[in-house]
Chains A and B, each alone.
Chain A
Amino acid sequence: MLSRSISRQVVRNHIRCVASTSVEFRRSFVSPSSTDRASVTDVGPAVVRQIQEDMFAPRADMLGFKLDVQPQAKNSSDLKARPIYLDMQATTPLDPRVLDAMLPYYTDMYGNPHSRTHAYGWEAEKAVDEARQYVADLIGADQKDIVFTSGATESNNMAIKGVARFHKEKKRHIITTQTEHKCVLDSCRKLSEEGFDVTYLPVQPNGVISLHELEAAIRPDTCLVSIMAVNNETGVIQPLKEIGAIVRKHRGVYFHTDAAQAVGKINIDVDAMNIDLMSISGHKIYGPKGVGAAYVRRRPRVRLEPIINGGGQERGLRSGTLPSTLVIGLGEACRIAKHEMARDHAHVSALADRLIKGISAKVDHVVRNGDPNGYPGCVNLSFAYVEGESLLMALKEVALSSGSACTSASLEPSYVLRALGAAEDMAHSSLRFGMGRFTTEAEIDFVTEKIVATVNRLRDMSPLWEMVQEGIDISSIDWSQH
């Protein structure tokens, strides 16, 4: 009896030993043969090419179909698990309830919402009007003020270029901020090529603009102030109500806000905030990609020159057949967002708290970029003495970004963080954590654990970190000595 239990113990130990060596080639009883004793023959490139052709080239009877094995989602434990998604500022998953609302319009109800002569058109038009109402309800607007577009980028272009070009005879000045999204900045750059004056307001170190500077920047020939509601990289919320009040005092100046990251996440009321134009995106609020909306105030009327001309749909501001299915998806997403906003906000706040506490408890020298009272679903942290890109490379199990998705291909530090006054090294070491409705606590705990381990590992390798531990002030070093 005793011997049997011992032998079982031995077998079990042996298995455990084998299992651990298969994962880690650390040290084992078998030492590898040295290269001079190993019989390795170099086969040459010709043989390698032959093997590749035999193994991977499509055969003649495959009729040109590529050998492309689709991974089966089910019962595949050997399949690589999907990483955790923490990039909700780039895009959000489509809510299953939104997809359910859209599917009928992808099957039987395919009518053109502008067709007035038959039932297919009427049912699509009715659904589009309902969706318009849901979007308007979410922002406290009238449904006639909503113009559907292809996304927030188009809405921003339409608002900024439209207002500026309509008033170009008398007014030639636009005000925006340095931390705007690229599509706003680029529209302004285009206008400055056309001869407009553009003022790029600086922001304070917490990312919020100074109201005094805004008021001082308004000129008699200013036609538009464009300031985003929630920043896409730092989550900073601008004081829209105060800005709206200042802009309203000046006759003939319109207030546009890019609320792609704000709608459905924080309370927005276009009347209380005196907003004249606003951009909304579908895929940031768990809706479909490829659809957005612009709010264009009718009383007092905001006049703008349309970019797209044609059949005169959407009050003539945006011609072209409405993608009724996408519009209905956006409407349903807005309806759900209005219903769930309080719950989502509480959930996201709790997650952000958990993440920040979890990371700062175990890692030193972590700086949160931007106003801590911003939108909690966007947490931008800088890990000093660690390069953000290498951190991202090491974190294969987490889908994160160091900044905006539009600029994620470049290695330049984020211009938003630079505008906040972050030093170059801190702007290089930033990560953006985007949490949302579908993020769970278990995911946050997993990510915290991974981040802590990775940051500590990278710092252990870093000579800079070693110098900091020795008490050398890095910024005082003159690096170019020769």
Chain B
Amino acid sequence: MASVPSRAALLQLYSNTLRTSKSFSSYNFRNYFIRRTRDTFKSIQNEQDPDKLTRFYDEASKELEVLRRAALINGMYGGQKLVVEREGAVRLRGDT
């Protein structure tokens, strides 16, 4: 059995996953994976059971690989801005 992941290793994995999530070009995917990464890592924040921690670490590492590839592909084909992302959107006067 693999050794129990240290706190530092988990934090490293967390920051890597979050960084990868932020690298998605498409607004919806990016926001979903950021939200999901925060959620899942928060849910094991106070976990003490070494078995669960090991399983979580293995799964999350595998997912990080998937996300890395997915973010690359997404960057190649996706990423056109959505209307909610538009900065300084054209605003019509209120009295029209």
Contact = CB atoms under 8 A, between A and B. Distances in A.
Interface of A: 20, 23-24, 26, 71, 73-74, 79, 81-85, 93, 96-97, 99-101, 103, 343, 397, 437-440, 442-443, 446
Q: Which of A26, A73, A79, A83 has the most CB of B within 10 A?
A: A73
22 contacts: A20-B93, A23-B92, A24-B96, A26-B93, A26-B96, A71-B80, A73-B77, A74-B79, A81-B80, A81-B82, A83-B83, A84-B82, A84-B84, A85-B28, A96-B73, A99-B70, A100-B66, A437-B32, A438-B28, A438-B32, A439-B28, A446-B84
A437 B39 CA distance: 14
Interface string B49-86: 00000000000000100110111011001111111111
A397 B82 CA distance: 9
B37 to A, nearest CB: 12
Interface string B15-41: 000000000110111011000100100
Given A24-B93, A73-B78, A343-B39, A440 B28 contact: yes
B1 interface: no
B8 interface: no
A397 B39 contact: no
A291 B19 CA distance: 33
Contacts of A446: 83-84
B28 A82 contact: no
B90 interface: yes
Contacts of B80: 71, 73, 79, 81-82
Contacts of A103: 73
Contacts of A82: 80-83
A343 B43 CA distance: 12
Nearest to A346: B39
A97 B27 CA distance: 16
B96 A81 contact: no
Nearest to B33: A96
B85 A81 contact: yes
A90 to B, nearest CB: 16
Contacts of A81: 80-83, 85-86
A366 to B, nearest CB: 23
B11 to A, nearest CB: 22
A440 B70 contact: no
Q: Which of A26, A96, A97, A443 has the most CB of B within 10 A?
A: A96
B69 A100 contact: yes
